Amino acid sequence: MVLGVGGGIAAYKVCELLRRLTESGHRVRVVPTASALRFVGEPTWAALSGQPVETGVWDQVHEVPHVRIGQSADLVVVAPATADLMAKAAAGIADDLLTNTLLTARCPVVFAPAMHTEMWEHPATQDNVATLRSRGAIVLDPAVGRLTGVDTGRGRLPEPAELFEAARLVLRRGATEPDLSGRRVVISAGGTREAIDPVRFIGNHSSGRQGYALARTAAARGADVTLVAANVSLPDPAGVRLVRVSSAVELAEAMETEREAADIVVMTSAVADFRPVTSAASKIKKSGAAPAPIELVENPDILAGLVTTREREGDDQTIVGFAAETDDVIANGRAKLARKGCDLLVVNQVGGGRAFGTEDNQATVLAADGAVVDIPTGPKEDLADRVWDLVVERLPERSS
Ligand SMILES: Cc1cc2nc3c(=O)[nH]c(=O)nc-3n(C[C@H](O)[C@H](O)[C@H](O)COP(=O)(O)O)c2cc1C
């Protein structure tokens, strides 16, 4: 692997990424820019990687490093990718070892930009990002949060653990093209909470892991991902835009908003079918008398609503639902697919320790075109990748 490091303040976080990569067995050649060495020195990169570290093309010339390093890489990760580096990469400038490496690499390339919000939002940077993506590079959207000084906004480098996950997921796909590149994906994850009073709610056991696995794998396949998370306490995936909600009504509103620009919508969240008619303004106390019953009202059917909106708007969006069933899994799944009108329904059996909060999952995917695909028990990201395969096979041709 090549780890290209740009001259941004977040270079210090990349030491931890390097550590994770080497500890998981990867041979990593760090190629910093001269500016990067102003932030973190050569000895740190050399000691952590166990490899020589150069910034220019004039060292070890007999080994032709300006060509060899890129040619022999299985993956190039650039973190932090500065505005300057992405501009050079988009323009094909090759004035140091890293920019030469970017021109000679034929493996997947992941850019993890980090910069102030103004730099990120500048049309020049956005054009360069679009150019790099159009050429097959994976450019992870920066996270929102604390920037160099006291300011906050979009432009933060994702956490090293999540960058490591992104690199791992891209690497495991090998030289496969990022087949979701240019596709806008909206995924809902987690479980809704329906307030009874300010401290209590009706909820469910959904951890959000399957939805987060779908988000991470979609980003690794080049998609532009928005994740609508209902009460999830997992780390924010790298390169994914997060929208946080709590109740079913909030989730419905967020999905209707986010679906507008989406090519693919995936509903993995566990939505409460019912909510209390009223939520008490103050905490309900014991009074000695029998507790008052909680009157419930039905929540909106979000998946069916998304299908209705698609039909009304005449979109060619692909819509995927998830169904958790405890009994008659396939029969209930088929009935649900027909009722909801989505393109794919991923049906999994829950209860008895299956699915909720676990690392592994298993499912049967039922397609509106009649296909039935069994996905055997395995990591949730394997299931996610199989679902994306089935989605990609059914995507309409791009109009441009
Ligand atoms: C304290 C400090 C922090 C900086 N942080 C960033 C940053 O996070 N992102 C960025 O694009 N540029 C940042 N810059 C500007 C870059 O260092 C500058 O554009 C430099 O030319 C980048 O060189 P490189 O792309 O060759 O690494 C920072 C500069 C300074 C002095």
SS3 183: coil
Q: What tokens does 78 get? A: 């650039």
Closest-lying ligand 1 atom to the alpha carbon of residue 96: 26
Residues 80/114, Cβ–Cβ less than 8 Å: yes
The correct CATH number of 2-173 out of 1.10.3720.10, 3.30.1540.10, 3.40.50.970, 3.40.50.1950 is 3.40.50.1950
Q: Is the predicted pLDDT of residue 256 greater than 90, yes or no?
A: yes
| 204 catalytic per annotation | yes
Q: Is the CB of 148 under 6 A from ligand 1?
A: yes
- Ligand 1 in reach of 36 Cβ (< 6 A): yes
Instruction: State which ligand 1 atom lies nearest to the alpha carbon of 157.
Output: 8
Non-local (6+) Cβ contacts of 185 within 8 A are 215, 218, 223, 224, 225, 226, 262, 263, 264, 265, 266
Please, are residues 299 and 271 in contact by the beta-carbon 8 Å criterion? yes
Domains 2-173 and 184-275+296-394 share a fold: yes
Question: Tens of pLDDT along 98-121?
Answer: 999 999 999 999 999 999 999 999
| Region 343-370 average pLDDT | 81
Instruction: Give, using CA atoms, the residue closest to atom 10 of ligand 1.
Output: 82
**365-390 tens-digit pLDDT:** 999 999 999 999 999 999 999 999 99
What span, in angstroms and rounded, lies between the C-alpha atoms of 290 and 57? 81
Of 82, 102, 111, 156, the residue with max ligand 1 atoms within 8 A of its CB, to mutate for a pocket test, comes to 82
> Taking a C-beta distance cutoff of 8 angstroms, is the pair 187, 266 a contact?
yes
Mutate to test the pocket of ligand 1, among 31, 35, 99, 111 (most ligand atoms within 8 A of CB): 35
Structure tokens at 318: 């692909």
Distance set, CA 342 to CA 248, 308, 382, 385 (Å): 19, 10, 22, 19
Looking up tokens 């049967």, which residue turns up?
A: 364
What span, in angstroms and rounded, lies between the C-alpha atoms of 139 and 369?
A: 34
Q: If we measure between CA atoms, which residue out of 173, 163, 164, 117 comes closest to residue 140?
A: 163
- From 204, 231, 348, 361, active-site residue: 204
Q: What is the mean pLDDT of the chain?
A: 94
**What are the residue ranges spanned by the domains of the chain?**
2-173, 184-275+296-394
What are the pLDDT digits (tens) for 80-91? 999 999 999 999
For residue 114 and ligand 1, the question of a CB distance below 6 A is answered with yes
For ligand 1, atom 13, which residue shows the shortest CA distance? 8
CATH topology of domain 184-275+296-394: Rossmann fold (3.40.50)
- pLDDT tens-place string over residues 222-250: 999 999 999 999 999 999 999 999 999 99
Q: Is the pTM of this model over 0.85?
A: yes
351: pLDDT strictly greater than 70: no
Tens digits of residue pLDDT in 175-232: 888 999 999 999 999 999 999 999 999 999 889 999 999 999 999 999 999 999 999 9
Residue 9 Cβ inside 6 Å of ligand 1? The answer reads yes
Long-range contacts of 56-62 (CB under 8 A, 24+ apart): 56/96, 56/97, 57/96, 57/97, 57/100
Asked whether 241 and 227 are in contact (CB, 8 A), the reply is yes
What distance, in Å, lies between the first and last C-alpha atoms of the chain? 34
Q: Which atom of ligand 1 is closest in space to residue 155's alpha carbon?
A: 8
CA torsion, points 203, 227, 384, 1, in degrees to nearest 10? Answer: -130
Rounded distance, CA 313 to CA 309, Å? 6
Q: Whose CA is nearest to atom 19 of ligand 1?
A: 84
